[in-house]
Amino acid sequence: MQTIRLKHLAAIRWFHWINFPLLAAMIWSGLLIYWAFPTYSLGPIHFFPSWVYSTFHMDHRLADGMALHFFFMWLFAINGLLYVLYTWVSGEWRYLLPRKRTALRDAWHVLLHDLHLRKAVPEQEKYNAAQQIAYTAIILMGAGSLITGLAIYKPAQLNWLTELLGGYQVARMLHFDLTVLYVLFFLVHVQQVLAAGWNNFRSMVSGWESRDEREKRPAS
Ligand code: HEM
């Protein structure tokens, strides 16, 4: 029998969807800044060849980048902090944190299941163990971006923080690496959302999910 149930609270949906354009603005403006001193590469692959900047009109826009980055960072931080506070107060953190001792093994089984290499899937509540690990990691990454960002934003005033992180160069690299990880998370996240289907996506927009009571595992 099909039933409808509330899956995502309104506040969580707002925080989630507000975060998306904010993160996009942070990455975009961050790249405008990175253009001025593009030092990183992964072996022979450089972040990024100059044609990338010229094609997307991202070159010679350091001042724009800084202005946008230092404006949107406040919104990104406030939205993120309110989200964490809300999950705490509402008790939603219970669904998000991997609390079972078998979380790693369960996440591995979810992965094998998604790759069609395993039939059975572990019992789950709102999120499976792989989602719990990914969502907890992304929240910690958000905190990491804020901390490393502060360390390279005010390395003189906050020099204790910059030093704690291993110095300016290390803090800058960590800040950049976190951005790469966001992009990877985003690609996997959207792929998973596409694979889970319309019902799952709609629940993050409207809050409601339709569910087949005979199903053991919610479609997510
Ligand atoms: C096109 C962009 C995006 C789409 C379509 C999307 C879609 C979704 C959907 C459908 C869910 C619910 C999953 C489920 O119920 O199983 C979800 C949850 C979540 N997403 Fe996204 N998402 C997007 C971007 C992002 C970004 C950029 C981040 C963070 C960097 C993010 C972080 C999260 C987190 C942390 C949750 C769990 C929220 C909670 O329950 O507190 N998403 N997303």
What is the crossing angle of helices 103-114 and 129-153, to 10°? Answer: 110
With vertex at residue 141, the alpha carbon angle to CA 140 and CA 144, rounded to the nearest 5 degrees, is 90
Q: Is 126 in the pocket of ligand 1 (CB under 6 A)?
A: no
Angle value at C-alpha 5, between 4 and 9, nearest 5 degrees: 140
Containing structural domain, residue 132: 2-212
220 found inside a domain = no
**CA angle centred on 145, ends 110 and 58, rounded to 5°:** 105
Return the ligand 1 atom nearest residue 185 CA.
30
Residue 162 domain-assigned (yes or no)? yes
Say what the pLDDT of residue 2 is.
Answer: 87
pTM exceeds 0.85 for this model: yes
In this prediction, residues 140-159 reach a mean pLDDT of 98
Position 46 confidence tier, pLDDT thresholds 50, 70, 90: confident
Q: Which atom of ligand 1 is nearest to the CA of 201?
A: 10
- The answer to whether residue 157 is domain-embedded is yes
Number of structural domains the chain divides into: 1
Q: Where are the alpha helices (DSSP H) in the chain?
A: 10-34, 50-55, 62-90, 93-96, 103-114, 129-153, 159-164, 168-196, 198-205
Mean of the per-residue pLDDT values for the chain?
95
Q: Is residue 218 included in any domain, yes or no? A: no
What pLDDT score was predicted for residue 215? 62
Share of the chain above pLDDT 90, in %: 89
Q: What is the pLDDT of residue 217?
A: 52
Q: Tell whether 66 is covered by a domain.
A: yes
For the record, the structure tokens of 110 come out as: 């979810």
pLDDT in tens, 60-119: 999 999 999 999 999 999 999 999 999 999 999 999 999 999 999 999 999 999 999 999
Q: Decide if 89 is inside a domain.
A: yes
How far does the centroid of ligand 1 lie from the alpha carbon of residue 181, in Å? 15
Answer whether residue 193 is part of any domain.
yes
Q: Is the CB of 201 under 6 A from ligand 1?
A: yes
Q: Is 133 in the pocket of ligand 1 (CB under 6 A)?
A: no
- From the alpha carbon of 196, which atom of ligand 1 is closest? 16
Within a domain: 217: no
Contact yes or no for 2/212 (Cβ under 8 A)? yes
Pull the structure tokens for residue 208.
């409601």
CATH code for position 180: 1.20.950.20
